[in-house]
């Protein structure tokens, strides 16, 4: 398990970042709002990570700037019908605090602001 990656940003796209760690480039899938808030290319950054391998053996490393955001992602994955793409949408739309409040208060309207999150899944 790769718990976190700390290295130099060498490339940024809308939903992906490449981080150089001692000469090895790690491609991370990240929420779009994370990319816009990153320091410039050449600066050091730390991502907390989640490793995923699908049925076709495609490996994806998801990156988050805080452990709380990673925890929201992991918690969302425990819901039947929520995969990594939808879990990442949740992290992209709601801060960890907003997610916690929405779940604790059963605020379906807040949860349903997330693209592709149905009322059934929100419940």
Secondary structure (H, E, C), the chain = CCCEEEEEEEEECCCEEEEEECCEEEEEECCHHHHHCCCCCCCEEEEEEEEEECCCCCEEEEEECCHHHHHHHHHHHCCCCCCHHHHHHHHHHCCHHHHHHHHHCCCHHHHCCCCCCCHHHHC
Per-residue model confidence (pLDDT) at position 90: 86
Per-residue model confidence (pLDDT) at position 26: 97
For the cut 80, the answer to whether the pLDDT of residue 84 exceeds it is: yes
Whether 33 and 59 share a structural domain: yes
Per-residue model confidence (pLDDT) at position 122: 60
Mean pLDDT, residues 48-75: 92
Mean pLDDT, residues 42-55: 93
For the cut 70, the answer to whether the pLDDT of residue 71 exceeds it is: yes
> What is the Cα–Cα distance from 64 to 104, expressed in whole angstroms?
23
Where does residue 106 rank: exposed (0-12), middle (13-18), buried (19+ CB within 10 A)?
exposed
Q: Where among 20, 44, 64 does a domain terminate?
A: 64
Whether 29 and 79 share a structural domain: no
Find the radius of gyration of the CA atoms of the chain: 15
Mean pLDDT, residues 89-114: 80
Mean pLDDT, residues 80-106: 84
For the cut 90, the answer to whether the pLDDT of residue 23 exceeds it is: yes
**Alpha-carbon torsion, ordered 50, 46, 92, 56, to 10 deg:** -30
Where does residue 43 rank: exposed (0-12), middle (13-18), buried (19+ CB within 10 A)?
exposed
Q: Of 29-38, 57-66, 85-94, 100-109, which range is least confident?
A: 100-109
Number of domains in the chain: 2
For the cut 80, the answer to whether the pLDDT of residue 123 exceeds it is: no
Range(s) of the domain holding residue 42: 4-64
For the cut 90, the answer to whether the pLDDT of residue 99 exceeds it is: no
Q: Where among 15, 42, 64 does a domain terminate?
A: 64
Whether 75 and 48 share a structural domain: no
């Amino acid at each position: 398990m790769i718990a976190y990656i700390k290295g130099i940003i060498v490339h940024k796209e809308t939903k992906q970042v490449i981080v150089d760690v001692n000469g090895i480039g790690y491609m991370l899938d990240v929420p779009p709002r994370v990319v816009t808030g990153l320091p410039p290319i050449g600066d050091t950054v730390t991502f907390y990570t989640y490793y995923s391998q699908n049925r076709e053996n495609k490996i994806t490393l998801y990156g988050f700037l805080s452990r709380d955001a990673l925890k929201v992602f992991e918690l969302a994955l425990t819901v039947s019908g929520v995969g990594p793409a939808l879990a990442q949408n949740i992290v992209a739309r709601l801060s960890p605090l907003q997610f916690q409040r929405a779940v604790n208060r059963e605020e379906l309207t807040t949860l349903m602001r997330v693209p592709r999150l149905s009322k059934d899944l929100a419940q």
